[in-house]
């Protein structure tokens, strides 16, 4: 049984989902999609100076992961599942979500993954990359189908984790929008 494959209609389903979740998490952290690899390689060839040196580190990390199976980056991200469930599939949504969460915890333990998930108020870290509402599980339904389709994306919590918001007046126009964006880029990271 490979990642993303589960047996439906039995209690075994939730054990399978846990194992699939763990396998998908490990795969997502070690096996980058071809378009991402191509983009990193192209940027590495195109850039110079400090940008090229940082991209070189990324290229080497990808190569090392390919050779050893270790994760590409220690930032394991925040897991986001996208699950499509056939309307005829015998699935309990609460048990499914619990099994997916358990799989993330299992992979974190099996592969000694760094946990970056903390409670927003207490800063408690469960050390298993889960928390209240984490991983996020988005569910959609497919008419008439009787299966599950599962996609896992670890959303980076390092350099990706920047957000800003400001209400602009209509008088600010496009120039105001551009200025605000550029100011935030400069502020976010030298």
How many folded domains does the chain comprise? 2
Tell me, yes or no, whether 51 lies in a domain. no
Residue 173's Cβ-side half-sphere holds a number of Cα atoms within 13 Å equal to 2
Q: Is the dihedral of CA 13, 17, 19, 24 positive or negative?
A: positive
Across 4-120, where does the E strand assignment appear?
A: 78-86
Least confident range of 38-47, 59-68, 111-120, 169-178: 111-120
In degrees, rounded to 5, the angle at the alpha carbon of residue 175 between the alpha carbons of residues 172 and 177 is 70
pLDDT at 1: 46
Closest to 157 measured CA to CA, from 81, 79, 80, 77: 77
Query: Is 66 inside any structural domain?
Result: no
Q: In terms of domains, do 121 and 93 share one?
A: yes
Mean pLDDT of the chain: 90
Confidence (pLDDT) at 118: 86
Do 124 and 106 belong together in one domain? yes
For the segment 113-136, the average pLDDT, to the nearest whole number, is 91
113, 170: one domain = no
Selected residue with higher pLDDT from 50 and 11 = 50
Do 114 and 177 fall within a single domain? no
Q: Please give the residue range of the domain that contains residue 109.
A: 12-32+72-155
Q: Quick one: 28 and 115 in the same domain? A: yes
Q: Are residues 176 and 105 in the same domain?
A: no
Closest CA to 44 of 32, 30, 60, 33: 60
Residue 60 domain-assigned? no
In a domain, 129, yes or no: yes
Arithmetic mean of pLDDT, 158-177: 85
């Amino acid at each position: 049984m490979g990642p993303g494959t589960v047996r439906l209609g039995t209690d075994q389903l939730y054990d399978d989902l846990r194992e699939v979740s763990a396998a998908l998490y490990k795969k997502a952290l070690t096996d980058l999609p071809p378009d991402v690899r191509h983009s990193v390689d192209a940027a590495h060839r195109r850039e110079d100076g400090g940008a090229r040196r940082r991209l070189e580190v990324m290229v080497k990390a990808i190569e090392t992961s390919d050779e050893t199976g270790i994760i590409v980056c220690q930032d394991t991200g925040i897991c986001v599942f996208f699950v499509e469930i056939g309307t005829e599939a015998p699935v309990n949504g609460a048990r499914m979500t619990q099994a997916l969460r358990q799989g993330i915890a299992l992979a974190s333990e099996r592969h000694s993954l760094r946990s970056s998930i903390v409670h927003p108020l207490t800063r408690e870290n469960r050390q298993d990359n889960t928390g209240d509402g984490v991983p996020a599980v988005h569910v959609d339904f497919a008419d008439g189908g009787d299966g599950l389709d599962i996609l896992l994306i670890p959303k980076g919590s390092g350099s990706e984790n920047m957000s800003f918001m400001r209400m602009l007046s209509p008088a600010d126009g496009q120039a105001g929008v551009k200025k605000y964006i550029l100011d935030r880029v400069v502020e976010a990271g030298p």
